[in-house]
Amino acid sequence: MIHHIELMQSSDYKNKLAQCIHCGLCLQACPTYAVFGTEMDAPRGRIALMRAASDGRLTPEQFNDAFTTHINLCLACRACETACPSGVQYGALLDGAHKTIVANHAPGAVENFVRWLGLREMMPHVERMKFVARLMWLYEKSGVQKLVRAINFLPKPLKAMEAILPPIEPRYRDYRAPAPAIGEKRGTVAFFIGCIQEAFLSSVNEATIRVLQRNGYEVHFPAGQTCCGAAQLHVGEYDLVRQLAKQNIDAFLAREYDAILSNAGGCGATLRTEYAHLFHDDSAYAAKAKKFSAQVQDVNEFIAAHYTNPPKGNVPVRVTYSDSCHLRHVQKVVKQPRDLIKSIPGVQLVELKLPDRCCGSAGVYNIVNASVADDVLAAKMADIATTGAQMIVASNIGCHMQLIAGARQAQLNVPVVHVMQLLDMAYQAAERKT
């Protein structure tokens, strides 16, 4: 008998399972089905496994082997939800399956150490992350990186981590003071800084702040904010996620803002859709979590709705946009980034054949399942190559870093930028003319 399976046997969970009508329309949307071509590595097959577990038809051996393997191979991109005609809540089903796996899994000493170091001692502490980023900047500038990549001796997980390391510019803003609006002030927003992006791609945050300022917004950076908890959620560290969520909720609700903004699709999805679920039965935080999440917006949708000062500068470049899965399928922000890109003078946007297909980043998936992630990434880069794009545009930190690695591996000499960086280029181009 499998222990700790109560969640998957609840009436609510069984009702969600029953929504699946086995039509198979999800198969072609699933990136792991494209890699493996097997039913168990598609949403329909995984739901069949979930139903078998829920009904008590799996032995402990089957649970530890087939169930855990195929569930953990899911990228959680949620493309199947968009494709599903029956409204199957695959994300909620997957969450229940992950919680059951975690409850039945006893991590070893090495796994416990890695989780403690990365998820508890590093990501929630952005200054520690910046210290590591400065060390990695030295690693890049000293030439050691070229040597390491040439020798190619690292174990697969470390090699995967090294591969996604972006070119680092360790220049960081002092966040103690707000960034004032430029021109007429139209409102006040709070900005979620993040952890990995702030440390390793701080230029994305800087560009985002400048775009908000140029559209009349005073940008605040609430003290006490921390990591959103997305990576911790992916591996089942639910107590830690609640701790981080409480810290963020308290920090951002300390005063009123017009909106709470995130520029990372994955972080925004966690802040916007997961926090309320985390505290649905917590009398002290249920209402506060709902209020917080209701104020969270992705910066692309916010700017698109408050675009009072479109850039006038010309940026003559052919680009393609790679959707963040959690921005597209969870936050449902699809049109706004494209509208912003197309509003820039000189920019030509060429769509991918499969714009909704995952790049293989998926939190820590590209590290713990590096070989599968590489196959998914290779398909994405092949799609990008057909566009003839001179620049790849992203909207999530994990995708951004993954696409940098993918461009290098595919020998595509194209930079990767965030939507806000592309807008910022146009603003700067106009300023250089004046």
Q: Does residue 179 contact residue 211 with C-beta atoms inside 8 Å?
A: no
Token pair belonging to 5:
């399976």
The answer to whether position 171 is within a domain reads: no
CATH number of the domain at 63, please.
1.10.1060.10
Quote the pLDDT of residue 60: 85
Q: What residue spans of 186-237 are helical by DSSP H?
A: 196-200, 202-214, 230-234
The DSSP code sequence of 8-31 is: GGSHHHHHHHHT-----TTGGG-H
The answer to whether position 421 is within a domain reads: yes
User: Each residue's pLDDT tens digit in the chain (434 positions)?
Assistant: 566 677 788 899 999 999 999 999 999 999 999 999 999 999 999 999 999 999 999 888 888 889 999 999 999 999 999 999 999 999 999 988 988 888 887 777 877 888 888 889 999 999 999 999 999 999 999 999 999 999 888 888 888 889 999 999 989 999 999 999 999 999 999 999 999 999 999 999 999 999 999 999 999 999 999 999 998 888 778 899 999 999 999 999 999 999 999 999 999 999 999 999 899 889 999 999 999 999 999 999 999 999 999 999 999 999 999 999 999 999 999 999 999 999 999 999 999 999 999 999 988 888 888 899 999 999 999 999 999 999 999 999 999 999 999 999 999 999 999 999 999 999 999 888 76
pTM, whole model, 2 decimals? Answer: 0.93
Domain boundary among 75, 103, 131: 103
Q: Alpha-carbon dihedral of residues 388, 389, 394, 400, nearest 10 degrees?
A: 80
Q: Does residue 409 contact residue 415 with C-beta atoms inside 8 Å?
A: no
- The whole-angstrom separation of Cα 203 and Cα 259 is 22
The answer to whether position 180 is within a domain reads: no
The answer to whether position 266 is within a domain reads: no
User: Residue 176: exposed, middle, or buried by beta-carbon count in 10 A (0-12, 13-18, 19+)?
Assistant: exposed
Token pair belonging to 32:
């792991």
The DSSP code sequence of 49-92 is: HHHHHHTT---HHHIIIIIHHHHHT-----HHHHH-TT---HHH
Quote the pLDDT of residue 3: 64
Q: What contacts 93, CB < 8 A, 6 or more positions away?
A: 13, 16, 17, 47, 50
- In total, how many domains does the chain have? 2
User: Residue 316: exposed, middle, or buried by beta-carbon count in 10 A (0-12, 13-18, 19+)?
Assistant: exposed
- The whole-angstrom separation of Cα 312 and Cα 428 is 9
Residue type, 24: G
The answer to whether position 318 is within a domain reads: yes
Q: Which of 122, 252, 274 minimizes the C-alpha distance to 200?
A: 122
As a 3-state breakdown, the chain gives helix, strand, coil percent values, each rounded to 5, of: 55, 5, 35
- The whole-angstrom separation of Cα 392 and Cα 320 is 5
CATH number of the domain at 392, please.
3.40.50
The answer to whether position 121 is within a domain reads: no
The answer to whether position 50 is within a domain reads: yes
Domain boundary among 83, 103, 123: 103
Give me the domain span that covers residue 347.
311-433
Q: Alpha-carbon dihedral of residues 376, 74, 32, 112, nearest 10 degrees?
A: 50
Q: Does residue 54 contact residue 8 with C-beta atoms inside 8 Å?
A: yes
Domain boundary among 86, 103, 120: 103
The answer to whether position 69 is within a domain reads: yes
For helices 238-252 and 286-295, give the axis angle rounded to 10 degrees: 70
